[in-house]
């Protein structure tokens, strides 16, 4: 994805089009491209954070919400200045490859397994994700996977490996879509899926319910990475990462969703002490 295209997608410039970017993508323009996960977008977290971050840093942030794998690829190619993702193994590879200047733990929530109200695979009776997935596979209960190289998809594949199961067959469906769309498909087809709790709680019209939560392996950390690339707007990327890990950014994350959902949707992990 060329940087000019990333800018156009992020800004959604319906009126002005994308024929020319001028100097908007130059490192000294104050334009910041944030590549991040669909969970940050779908929950409304970015809508709350970005205006306040921009007011503090003086930069103009445009977010591109994709899977974690694609977000990291954008950073590696110089099509994003900063990434906010939740795929630790891929993040470590990104940093080891010299594509990032800093990586900070920002927040966490958790993954949950959701399924149809009747829970035909009996997942709610299990104590671990490995046991739950084994039962789903043995009973050939429908499982809906994102199949999109996102952080959630990477976590799902790791859980199947832990269960020593290679999912395949008509019962295992890959959508190639984001979390919100995958949740809707799972709900409409009485399927199971893995999701982050925040996106599940904020997605409307679902008949699905949480059938497994709590195991340690379902912990879901998010890191912000400033990109190391000649095209990077280094000043704005650093300012955004520092704001997000600072008192204001962490305070806003701490409060987000608590009123409407009676619980935090994300737990801040860089809260100044």
> pLDDT digits over 166-197, tens only?
999 999 999 999 999 999 999 999 999 999 99
Same domain, 95 and 61: yes
Q: Which pLDDT belongs to residue 272?
A: 64
Query: Is the pTM above the cut of 0.75?
Result: yes
Q: Which pLDDT belongs to residue 263?
A: 85
More confident of the two residues 28 and 226: 226
At 252, which CATH number?
3.40.190.10
Same domain, 105 and 233: yes
Same domain, 104 and 181: no
Q: Which pLDDT belongs to residue 220?
A: 97
Q: Looking at the domain assignment, is residue 98 inside a domain?
A: yes
Q: Which pLDDT belongs to residue 73?
A: 97
Q: Looking at the domain assignment, is residue 213 inside a domain?
A: yes
Over residues 249-255, the mean pLDDT reads: 96
Same domain, 88 and 130: no
Q: Which pLDDT belongs to residue 271?
A: 76
Q: Looking at the domain assignment, is residue 205 inside a domain?
A: yes
- On whether the CB atoms of residues 249 and 267 are closer than 8 A, the answer is no
Same domain, 105 and 226: yes
Q: Looking at the domain assignment, is residue 63 inside a domain?
A: yes
- Tokens read off for 243: 């704001």
Instruction: For residues 204 and 249, give the distance between their C-alpha atoms in angstroms, rounded to a whole number.
Output: 27
Terminal Cα distance for the chain, rounded: 40
Same domain, 65 and 96: yes
Q: Looking at the domain assignment, is residue 241 inside a domain?
A: yes
- On whether the CB atoms of residues 47 and 159 are closer than 8 A, the answer is no
Q: Which pLDDT belongs to residue 23?
A: 30
Banded pLDDT at 259 (limits 50, 70, 90): confident
Q: Which pLDDT belongs to residue 14?
A: 28
Q: Which pLDDT belongs to residue 167?
A: 97
Instruction: For residues 216 and 150, give the distance between their C-alpha atoms in angstroms, rounded to a whole number.
Output: 20
Q: Looking at the domain assignment, is residue 273 inside a domain?
A: no
- On whether the CB atoms of residues 224 and 268 are closer than 8 A, the answer is no
Beta strands in the chain (DSSP E): 31-36, 60-65, 82-85, 100-115, 143-145, 172-174, 193-196, 209-212, 219-227, 267-268
Domain count for the chain: 2
Same domain, 155 and 76: no
Same domain, 30 and 116: no
Same domain, 177 and 208: yes
Q: Looking at the domain assignment, is residue 200 inside a domain?
A: yes
Helices 68-76, 88-96: crossing angle, 10 deg rounding: 10
Same domain, 114 and 188: yes
Question: How do residues 103-133 score in pLDDT, each as one tens digit?
Answer: 999 999 999 999 999 999 999 999 999 999 9
Q: Which pLDDT belongs to residue 193?
A: 98
Q: Looking at the domain assignment, is residue 35 inside a domain?
A: yes
Same domain, 65 and 198: no
Banded pLDDT at 262 (limits 50, 70, 90): confident
Domain membership of residue 151 as a residue range: 110-218
Instruction: For residues 83 and 10, give the distance between their C-alpha atoms in angstroms, rounded to a whole number.
Output: 13
Same domain, 119 and 181: yes
Instruction: For residues 219 and 105, give the distance between their C-alpha atoms in angstroms, rounded to a whole number.
Output: 13
Whether the pLDDT of residue 11 is over 60: the answer is no
- Tokens read off for 229: 């690339």
Question: Which of the listed residues 218, 240, 257 is the one where a domain comes to its end?
Answer: 218
């Amino acid at each position: 994805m060329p940087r000019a295209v990333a800018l156009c997608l992020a800004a959604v410039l319906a009126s002005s089009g994308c024929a020319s970017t001028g100097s908007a993508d130059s490192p000294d323009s104050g334009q910041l491209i944030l590549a991040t996960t669909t969970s940050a977008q779908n929950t409304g977290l970015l809508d709350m954070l970005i205006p306040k971050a921009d007011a503090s840093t003086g930069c103009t942030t445009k977010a591109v919400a994709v899977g974690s794998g694609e977000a990291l690829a954008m950073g590696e190619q110089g099509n994003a200045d900063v990434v906010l993702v939740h795929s630790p193994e891929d993040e470590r590879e990104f940093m080891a490859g010299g594509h990032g200047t800093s990586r900070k733990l920002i927040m966490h929530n958790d993954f949950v397994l959701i399924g149809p109200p009747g829970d035909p695979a009996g997942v709610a009776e299990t104590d671990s994700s490995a046991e739950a997935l084994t039962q789903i596979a043995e009973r050939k209960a429908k499982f809906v996977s994102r199949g999109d190289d996102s952080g959630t998809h990477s976590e799902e594949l790791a859980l199947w490996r832990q269960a020593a199961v290679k999912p395949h067959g008509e019962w295992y469906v890959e959508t190639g879509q984001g979390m919100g769309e995958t949740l809707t498909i799972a709900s409409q087809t009485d399927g199971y899926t893995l999701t982050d709790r925040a996106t599940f709680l904020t997605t409307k019209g679902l008949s699905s319910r949480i059938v497994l939560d709590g195991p340690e392996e379902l912990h879901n950390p998010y890191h912000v990475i400033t990109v190391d690339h000649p095209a990077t707007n280094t000043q704005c990327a650093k300012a955004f990462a520092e704001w997000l890990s600072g008192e204001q950014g962490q305070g806003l994350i701490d409060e987000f969703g608590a009123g409407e959902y009676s619980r935090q949707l994300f737990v801040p992990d860089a809260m100044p002490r």
